[in-house]
Amino acid sequence: MSAPVRVRFAPSPTGQPHIGNVRTALFNWLFARGRQGKFIVRIEDTDQTRLVPDAVEGILDGLRWLDIDWDEGPEVGGPYGPYFQSERLDLYQEAARGLMEGGHAYNCYCSPERLQEMRKQQMKEQKTPGYDRCCLNIPAQKLREYKDEGRVPVVRFKMPDPEEITVQDIIRGEVSWRSELLDDFVILKSDGFPTYHLANVLDDHDMEISHVLRAEEWLPSTPRHLMLYRALGLEPPLFGHLPMILGPDRSKLSKRHGATSILEYKEMGYLPKALTNFMALLGWSLDDRTEIMDRRTLVENFSLDRVVKSGAIFNREKLDWMNGVYFRNMSPEELTERILAYWEEFPASQILRPLDRGYLMRIAPLIQERLKTLRDASGLTSFFFQSELVYEPQELVQKGMDLKTTSAALEQALSTIDSSVTFDAETLEERLRALGSELDLSGRQFFGLLRVATTGSKVSPPLFQTMEVLGRDRCSHRISKAIEALAAS
């Protein structure tokens, strides 16, 4: 019987989580959920100089927003805690001492200035930069001098004699490195905190992690981790390195492409289900045609054998399209609730309050086809909530018309609206089309004029449905104001 699947997402709280971080979390989560495994969140906060206030909360909020729940970790606990590395220092320090006693590590007293000068000289001589083992065998006298000076050493791992280090990567297949090309790296800093390498290995072992699925950028660290596992006498987990996420120009994803905080996508008005669907396709696919997939389909079908090796292209236009598909599949009630919740969290200044839920529910279907993000909703609907519109006469006058014919057409439209027994889209369209023909105006001219007069914009949801929702009184009032604006010009 195979060991249970246990995977982890181990972010560093040095900033807010971005698409690349969260895509890694999502792939781990999908892999665990599809195999009745456990998904663990572990906070790697050992780099104390780079910690960002509230970053942990931002990471957890981002996961919660996307409905990526964790079985063990912060706020949840679990049998393998604590889940903050800063609370596990004794474990790392004890391991470092054991590695030194076994001849696998040693104290290094080199100053930052010496290391900088060493790298500079190596580059000048066109050598691969790396530690020169100056402190591997320090004479007793020199050691006493360092201690008298109060120097606090770091601990370096001693890489083995020349050999080939190989990993069978789940995604990339066999990958090998020569040990002599890897220098003796630091595993414990002078402040007593471990580096990523030591903490990562010990925590993955102690938390019984079965699969390490992480970004491709960590692939070069794998031989170091394998050597640490061996020196510690531990069995390594299985490794899988996920493809990089690239911009449309195939360069590394940056802010101009969309590498922004995951919570900024929330503020921009993307739906968590749409963003999850989009991220799942950044390096994985179900087949060569299916793009819209709900959470259940993703969980049931996600497998590592369909994760690609090559970089995944981040396409913002595709995300917008996908978000729009999710909007169009919503009921009016759900769309209304989404818009209300978004405006509650991110108030739109042009939307007057208090909001009438029933009124918004009549508006929502009118913008459903054009909606790409929740942020768009305020711009598409603001005229429904405004008590007064501001008109520019040149916007009212349509091509082929003048002030006189424009004003006359609005007078006739106002009379038609006021005299209508019923005020619904079908009746309005029938009567106003007939009026346009009587006035010898094209649909583009007459309806363009009515659109600007009733909404204040050249672009709006379907005109007659919009007028029905606005209501007779508001439409009459706005057309009257438009006539006044023309008279005053």
List 445's β-bridge partners, or say none. none
Q: Find all residues with CB under 8 Å of 334, minimum gap 6, and list them.
A: none
Helix, strand, coil % over all residues of the chain, rounded to 5: 50, 10, 40
30 in Cβ contact with 302 (< 8 Å):
yes
207 in Cβ contact with 84 (< 8 Å):
no
Q: Find all residues with CB under 8 Å of 76, minimum gap 6, and list them.
A: 41, 70
CA distance 448 to 454: 10
CA angle 443, 447, 450 (to 5 degrees): 160
Q: Could you identify the residue written with the tokens 């402190």? A: 135
Q: Which residues are catalytic?
A: 255
Bond from prior residue into 354 cis (ω within 30 degrees of 0): yes
The letter for the amino acid at 334 is E
226 in Cβ contact with 167 (< 8 Å):
yes
Q: In angstroms, what is the C-alpha Rg of the chain?
A: 32
Burial 453-478 (b: 16+ CB within 10 A, else e): bbbbeeebbebbbbbbbbeeebbbbb
CA distance 6 to 204: 10
CA distance 134 to 71: 45
CA distance 345 to 341: 6
Q: Give the distance, in angstroms, between the CA of residue 215 and the centroid of all CA atoms in the same chain.
A: 15
Bond from prior residue into 223 cis (ω within 30 degrees of 0): no
DSSP 350-393: TS-SS--HHHHHHHHHHHTTT-SSTTHHHHHHHHHH-S-----H
The letter for the amino acid at 447 is F
CA distance 111 to 152: 10
CA distance 328 to 365: 9
What is the DSSP secondary structure assignment for residue 107, as one 8-state letter? Answer: E
List 173's β-bridge partners, or say none. 169
